[in-house]
């Protein structure tokens, strides 16, 4: 058996409309490289015909492999499962919805061959809603500040990794994660290139507002304890200020005498601080919940069946 040079990894969740146009563009690019390759699709519990289509591709296209999940475990778990079964020297992740152009793959391979171990991409003219673009900006800036990493576009999943980085990722058993950030922690010479970005024209985004928030908690709390430290700091500052305020009221009591006005102002201030406290407890809860998930040691995902790996 010849060693595989390139592994393409694609998570699929209800993408029956995108799969054919994807294969029509991806396969010529990959097979035109003249290197050995495999394309691994993870079917992340799709409820449409995606799995049937993928099984057909295993027959039709040499090098196509499919992992079938037992349910929906999320995009990042789908990618991790494929990483564990991949064997390429270079591994490239790609979304199934053609928002990332497969034509950029040769350029990414070039960067790895130059000696970089992670090639990230920055979406030029990103074609998503204004809300998502603004939210991503905020996430990118705060994540860089909090983790000390340097990445311009955390969300773009068109990425290339050297085998060394993949081996490290495969040794991590964490049950919630964010792959671009995880890879960055193992990378010694990352680089980024600009790539085009297309609007999603087939099917719809699989991320609801809520799951986007969940995902960003994975990113923030999964890679940094700065949120906790900021909270401790905020607590200390508030206590100091409140001592000052109490002193001020104490002196005022002697100068003006007893006052009862301002009860509602007091309420407003109180609600504000209670809000902060609940927020803080929630934050701590995020970390505790993650620790709980880790200690339970349940499988992160369940693969029901694989296709095309036997050959
Ligand atoms: N995806 C997945 N499992 C999920 C959600 C998404 O495998 O639970 C896949 C999806 O099929 C697509 C990729 O992850 O290939 C990115 O999803 P999507 O395009 O919906 O995300 P967006 O581009 O809106 O961030
Ligand atoms: Mg998309």
Query: How does pLDDT run across 117-144, given as a tens digit for each residue?
Result: 999 999 888 888 888 899 888 888 988 8
Q: Is residue 70 part of a domain?
A: yes
* Shared domain check, 303 and 271: no
Contacts 24+ apart (CB under 8 A), 238-247: 238/273, 238/276
User: What CATH number has the domain bearing residue 177?
Assistant: 3.90.550.10
Q: What is the pTM of this model?
A: 0.90
**Pocket probe mutation, ligand 1, options 8, 11, 19, max atoms within 8 Å of Cβ:** 11
* Shared domain check, 303 and 278: no
Ligand 1 atom closest to residue 212's alpha carbon, by position in its atom list: 25
Across 124-182, the runs of DSSP E, i.e. the strands, are 159-162
**C-alpha to C-alpha distance for 11 and 170, rounded to whole angstroms:** 17
* Shared domain check, 273 and 181: no
* Shared domain check, 289 and 165: no
- Which pLDDT score, from 0 to 100, does residue 62 have? 94
* Shared domain check, 49 and 22: yes
* Shared domain check, 251 and 164: no
- Which pLDDT score, from 0 to 100, does residue 1 have? 63
* Shared domain check, 185 and 240: no
Q: Is residue 211 part of a domain?
A: no
Give the list of residues 6+ apart from residue 104 with CB closer than 8 angstroms, or none: 121, 158, 193, 195, 196
pLDDT, tens digit, 9 for 90 and up, residues 235-254: 899 989 989 988 998 898 89
265: helix, strand or coil: helix
Ligand 1 atom closest to residue 205's alpha carbon, by position in its atom list: 20
State how far the alpha carbon of 19 is from the alpha carbons of 41, 76, 119, 138, 228, in Å: 10, 19, 25, 32, 42
Query: Is 195 a residue whose pLDDT tops 80?
Result: yes
Minimum CA distance residue for ligand 1 atom 24: 205
Whether ligand 1 lies within 6 angstroms of the CB of 127 is answered as no
Q: Is residue 282 part of a domain?
A: yes
Q: Is residue 212 part of a domain?
A: no
* Shared domain check, 278 and 140: no
**C-alpha to C-alpha distance for 77 and 175, rounded to whole angstroms:** 8
Whether ligand 1 lies within 6 angstroms of the CB of 15 is answered as yes
What ligand is nearest to the CA atom of residue 209?
Answer: 1
What ligand is nearest to the CA atom of residue 204?
Answer: 1
Give the list of residues 6+ apart from residue 311 with CB closer than 8 angstroms, or none: none
Structural domain span for residue 268? 226-296
Q: Is residue 215 part of a domain?
A: no
Q: Which ranges in 86-129 belong to alpha helices (H)?
A: 105-113
Cα distance between the two ends of the chain: 9
**Pocket probe mutation, ligand 1, options 14, 71, 79, 95, max atoms within 8 Å of Cβ:** 95
Q: Is residue 221 part of a domain?
A: no
Minimum CA distance residue for ligand 1 atom 16: 95
Query: Is 311 a residue whose pLDDT tops 80?
Result: no
Minimum CA distance residue for ligand 1 atom 23: 205
Distance from the alpha carbon of residue 240 to the mean position of ligand 1, in angstroms: 47
Give the pairing type, strands 64-69 and 37-43.
parallel
> Cα 242 vs. chain centroid, distance in angstroms?
40
Nearest CA to 280 among 218, 244, 235?
235
Ligand 1 atom closest to residue 204's alpha carbon, by position in its atom list: 20
Q: What percent of the chain stands above pLDDT 70? A: 99
Whether ligand 1 lies within 6 angstroms of the CB of 13 is answered as yes
Ligand 1 atom closest to residue 10's alpha carbon, by position in its atom list: 15
Q: Which helix (H) or strand (E) holds 186?
A: helix 179-186
Q: Is residue 218 part of a domain?
A: no
Distance from the alpha carbon of residue 163 to the mean position of ligand 1, in angstroms: 24
Residue 80: pLDDT band (50, 70, 90) is very high
Q: Which ranges in 207-311 belong to alpha helices (H)?
A: 209-223, 226-256, 263-296
- Which pLDDT score, from 0 to 100, does residue 308 have? 94
Evaluate whether 162 touches 98 at the Cβ level (below 8 Å): no
* Shared domain check, 189 and 260: no
Minimum CA distance residue for ligand 1 atom 2: 75
Give the list of residues 6+ apart from residue 22 with CB closer than 8 angstroms, or none: 10, 15, 96, 97, 98, 102
* Shared domain check, 168 and 157: yes
Nearest CA to 165 among 214, 116, 206?
116
* Shared domain check, 196 and 252: no
Whether ligand 1 lies within 6 angstroms of the CB of 207 is answered as yes
pLDDT, tens digit, 9 for 90 and up, residues 141-193: 988 888 888 888 888 899 999 999 999 999 998 888 999 999 999 999 999 99
Q: Is residue 210 part of a domain?
A: no
Query: Is 89 a residue whose pLDDT tops 90?
Result: yes
Query: Is 261 a residue whose pLDDT tops 80?
Result: no
* Number of domain units in the chain: 2
**C-alpha to C-alpha distance for 222 and 178, rounded to whole angstroms:** 8
Query: Is 257 a residue whose pLDDT tops 90?
Result: no
* Shared domain check, 264 and 247: yes
């Amino acid at each position: 058996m010849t060693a595989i040079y390139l592994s393409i990894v694609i998570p699929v969740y209800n993408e029956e409309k995108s799969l054919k146009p994807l294969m029509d563009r991806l396969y010529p690019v990959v097979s035109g490289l003249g290197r050995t390759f495999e394309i691994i699709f993870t079917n992340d519990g799709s409820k449409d015909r995606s799995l049937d289509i993928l099984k057909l591709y295993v027959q039709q296209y040499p090098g196509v492999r499919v992992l079938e999940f037992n349910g929906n475990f999320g995009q990042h778990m789908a990618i991790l499962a494929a990483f564990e079964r991949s064997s390429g020297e270079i591994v490239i992740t790609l979304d199934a919805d053609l928002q990332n152009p497969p034509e950029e793959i040769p350029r990414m391979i070039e960067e790895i061959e130059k000696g970089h171990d992670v090639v990230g991409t920055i979406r030029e003219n990103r074609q998503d809603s204004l809300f998502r673009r603004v939210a991503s900006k905020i996430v990118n800036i705060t994540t860089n500040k909090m983790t000390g990493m340097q990445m311009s576009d955390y969300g773009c999943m068109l990425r290339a990794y050297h085998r060394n980085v993949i081996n490290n990722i495969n040794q991590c058993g964490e049950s919630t994660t964010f792959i671009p950030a995880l890879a960055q922690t193992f990378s010694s010479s990352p680089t980024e290139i600009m790539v085009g970005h297309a609007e999603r024209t087939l099917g719809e985004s699989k991320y609801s507002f809520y799951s986007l928030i969940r995902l960003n908690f994975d990113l923030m709390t999964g890679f940094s304890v700065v949120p906790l430290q900021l909270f401790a700091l905020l607590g200390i500052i508030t206590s100091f200020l409140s001592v000052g305020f109490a002193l001020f009221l104490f002196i005022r009591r002697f100068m003006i005498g007893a006052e009862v006005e301002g009860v509602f102002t007091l309420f407003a201030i109180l609600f504000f601080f209670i809000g902060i406290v609940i927020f803080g407890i929630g934050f701590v809860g995020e970390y505790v919940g993650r620790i709980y998930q880790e200690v339970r040691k349940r499988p992160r995902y369940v693969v029901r069946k694989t296709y095309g790996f036997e050959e």
